[in-house]
Amino acid sequence: MIDSLPEKEPNVGIDKNPNDAENSTQPDTSISKNTKINKTKEELPEDIRTYDRFSKIDRASYNRVNKFLRDRTYITAREWAIARLCSDFRTTTGIEMTKIGENLPNLVPFMTRTYSPQAVNQARHAFEGKVRKSGATFLYGAMSGFITADELDDLMYEVTEVAKFLLEVENTDISLNQELDSEGRISNIMRDVRRSSIGFRHDSNTCPECGQILTQESIE
Residues 28-55 pLDDT 10s: 445 554 444 556 777 899 999 999 999 9
Q: Which contacts of 9-14 are long-range, i.e. CB under 8 A and separated by 24 or more positions?
A: 9/61, 9/62, 9/63, 9/112, 10/62, 10/63, 10/66, 12/78, 12/113, 12/115, 12/119, 14/62, 14/63, 14/66, 14/76
CB 129 within 8 A of CB 121: no
Report how far residue 78's alpha carbon sits from residue 162's, in angstroms, rounded to the nearest whole number. 18
What's CA 122's distance to the chain center, in Å? 15
DSSP string, 141-205: HHHHSSS-HHHHHHHHHHHHHHHHHHHHHTT----HHHHHHHHHHHHHHHHHHHHHHHHHH-SSS
Report how far residue 62's alpha carbon sits from residue 11's, in angstroms, rounded to the nearest whole number. 10
117-144 vs 176-201: helix crossing angle, rounded to 10: 60
pLDDT(183) > 60? yes
Which element (helix H / strand E) includes 74? none
Residues 10-33 pLDDT 10s: 344 334 443 443 333 333 445 554
pLDDT(200) > 80? no
pLDDT(209) > 60? no
Length of the chain: 220
7 vs 163 pLDDT, higher one: 163
Report how far residue 82's alpha carbon sits from residue 116's, in angstroms, rounded to the nearest whole number. 12
Residues 50-105 pLDDT 10s: 999 999 998 999 999 999 999 999 999 999 999 999 999 999 999 999 999 999 99
Residues 127-145 pLDDT 10s: 999 999 999 998 888 888 7
The arithmetic mean of pLDDT across residues 162-181, rounded, is 88
